[in-house]
Amino acid sequence: MKEVNSGGFNVSDEIPKSIKIDITKDTYIADKIMQMQRAPKLARPIIRQYFDFLKELTPEQVMDWMEGSERLKDTYQRATFGERIVFAGARGLIRYSKRIKDGANRVICFEVAALTIRFENPEAWEVIEAFGEDGIKKLKEGIEDIKEILKLKEENM
């Protein structure tokens, strides 16, 4: 049953289901600063390291990753102890603190990753865009893999 307002026209036909709004770099930076300030202090180093990782990706690294079939979580599983230990501290904090987990989860998501790469690493963003929908899908998978590696996806603490 459709909703009808007192004027007699169908409200649901007049209002779009979703609206996509693009933001400027200044708005992105202001939002990033606000998110960092809202995050628990112990989560901030994890979040900064995540932002640095996204900013330091080279177009060549992104191209190799886009062309490959391997997922990040598979690469992590094959990593050496020295490479995996880098994540151990972050995983420990996330595991034992719901506030840190929630703060990291709020920032480590596709939307933030896409905006960070777009505004702070435009060369890497061009590579992702060149792959079109496949590039966006691969980026989403990568963020989900990072969440899995950091144990952000686990519900039980």
Per-residue pLDDT of the chain (157 residues), as tens digits, is: 555 555 555 555 566 667 677 789 999 999 999 988 988 888 888 888 889 999 999 999 999 999 998 888 888 888 888 888 888 888 888 888 999 898 888 889 999 999 999 999 999 999 999 999 999 999 999 999 999 999 988 654 4
* Phi then psi dihedrals of residue 82, to 5 deg: -60, -40
pLDDT of residue 43: 86
Lookup: tokens for 104: 């990291």
Q: Among candidates 117, 107, 127, 4, which has minimal Cα distance to 47? A: 107
Distance CA 25, CA 22 (A): 10
Q: Among candidates 138, 120, 119, which has minimal Cα distance to 128? A: 138
**Using CA atoms in the order 39, 119, 49, 88, what is the torsion angle rounded to 10 degrees?**
90
Please provide the size of the chain in residues.
Answer: 157
pLDDT of residue 140: 96
pLDDT of residue 51: 92
DSSP state of 80: -
- Whether the CB-CB separation of 63 and 124 falls below 8 Å is answered with no
pLDDT of residue 3: 54
pLDDT of residue 157: 45
**Residue carrying the six token digits 């901030």:** 44
pLDDT of residue 146: 92
- Whether the CB-CB separation of 106 and 39 falls below 8 Å is answered with yes
pLDDT of residue 156: 47
